[in-house]
Amino acid sequence: MRLDTSFEEIDEAGLTKAEIWIGTKIKERRQARHHTLQALGQKTGLSRSFLSKLENGKVSPSVPTLLKVAQALDTTIGTFLDGLTQVSEKDLVVVRSSQRPVVARGGSSFGYSYERLAHPKNSGIEVFVVRFTRGRKPLKPFLHAGYEFNFVLKGQIELVQGDQRVVLEEGDSAYYRSSVPHYGVARGCKEAEVLAILIASETQHEAVSPFSLPAGFSRRRSPVPP
């Protein structure tokens, strides 16, 4: 099954149809759970105004925002993204490069775009390619329950987690608790591309995450200690 490329088109408000799709799915889930916007706002820490704009396709959601909303509605990000790409409950899941819609573009207020990769349904793990826009910094740090693993595919980023700062180059990786405020910024003269693996909750992490190392980072040129 091929992705309908119309999801990559941009509407009159400047959002892709993929972003509008996500807002619609969030609204459907919220109403199915009999939550008001105010109640959802109290559970996520997001304002009623922002949630309304999100549901109506007037703002672009970051990955941490989707995680917060998904957790508040007792579901996963997949509930909002399924239908944009092929989803399978079998042992082998394949998503072709042509099936990866850009969910949020680099000109967004949080400074990056992202595409969802192959994803076993209801696994508790979300996998993305994140592209950091050169010269853009998010308006505020992100935080969400769970853990995150980053691997720099291209370029260079400065990763900030709490009071720690580290520059990661192509081939470097980092693993950290994502409930601590964090963000990344592209460095140098070009955008950066990062493979990001998110474990939605710390409970799920203990059960399904393959990354059982303490928080830290590794360099491709340095041997990893036993």
Average pLDDT of 187-196?
Answer: 89
Cα 203 to Cα 56, 63, 94, 124, 206: the distances in Å are 32, 19, 27, 10, 5
pLDDT tens track for 202-219: 444 333 333 333 345 455
For the chain, domain boundaries: 123-226
**Planar angle of CA 49, 55, 61, nearest 5 degrees:** 85
Cα 154-186-225 angle, rounded to 5 deg? 60
The CATH class of 123-226 is mainly beta
The span from the CA of 192 to the CA of 4, in Å, is: 27
Mean pLDDT check: name the lowest of 33-37, 41-45, 56-60: 56-60
Residue position matching structure tokens 């963000």:
183
Q: What is the pLDDT of residues 194-203, one digit of tens each?
A: 999 988 664 4
- pLDDT per position as a tens digit, 51-110: 998 998 888 787 778 888 988 998 877 778 766 655 555 667 777 777 776 666 544 556
Q: How far is CA 7 from CA 2, 65, 115, in A?
A: 12, 20, 12
